[in-house]
Amino acid sequence: MNQRTRKAIGTAATVAFIAIYALVMMAVGGMLVVGRGTAFELPFYIVAGVGWLPVVMALIRWMSKPDTA
């Protein structure tokens, strides 16, 4: 698979992942966290806010691999 194809697939996967991740985190936060006070909300939002980074970083690393000759 060439780099151009990987980038197209990776971009679509990144957008889909972030959209689904945001919806899941909103549902989890709404059910378990909201209304319990700042001591619960702040750590949840910090963890949820950076939780998507490892997955997206792995996708970007995969997309950026050079083509094999």
Could you tell me the residue ranges of all domains in the chain? 3-63
Q: What is the pLDDT of residue 17?
A: 98
C-alpha closest to that of 32 among 44, 42, 22: 44
pLDDT tens digits along 12-45: 999 999 999 999 999 999 999 988 999 999 999 9
Q: Whole-model pTM?
A: 0.85
Q: For residue 40, which of 31, 4, 51 has the smallest C-alpha distance?
A: 31
Do the beta carbons of residue 10 and residue 59 sit within 8 Å? yes
User: In which band, very low, low, confident or very high, does the pLDDT at 68 lie, cut at 50, 70 and 90?
Assistant: confident
Contact present, 25 and 48 (Cβ < 8 Å): yes
Quote the percentage of the chain above a pLDDT of 90.
86
List alpha helices for 1-69, DSSP H. 3-28, 38-50, 53-63
